[in-house]
Amino acid sequence: MPIIINLDVMMAKRKISSNELADRVGITPANLSVLKTGKAKAVRFSTLEKICEVLDCQPGDILEYDKTEN
């Protein structure tokens, strides 16, 4: 998938754990793990909005498009 999730980077910058992020966003740690490992097929706008709100960042800070990965 050419879409790369850089959630780990943002989480490290904000010094927030997976469990805390999952709790504050309102998703299960298992679903957050699916998102972090790039297994997710889609992300709801509401989830993205919450993640951006909690991590105080833009969607572009979390999502990246890589042409070479296909």
Partner 1 sequence: MWNKNRSLMLSSALVKVVYVLAAVCCVMAPFMVEYYDKAVIASGQPSVYVPLLITLYSAVPAAIIALVCLDILLRNIRKEKPFITQNVKLLRIISYCCFAEALVFVYFATLKVFVLVVVIACAFMGLILRVVKNVFEQAVALREENDFTI
Please, which residue, 18 or 31, has the CB nearer to partner 1?
31
* CA 47 – CA 65 distance, rounded (Å): 19
CA-to-CA dists, residue 24 to 2, 4, 14, 33, 63, angstroms: 28, 22, 14, 15, 19
Per CB under 8 A, contacts with partner 1 among 5-64 are 27, 31-32, 34-35, 39-44, 47
Tally Cβ neighbours within 10 Å of residue 7.
21
CB of 31 to partner 1, least distance (A): 5
Using CB under 8 A as the binding criterion, the count of chain residues that bind partner 1 stands at 12
Q: Footprint of partner 1 on this chain (CB under 8 A)?
A: 27, 31-32, 34-35, 39-44, 47
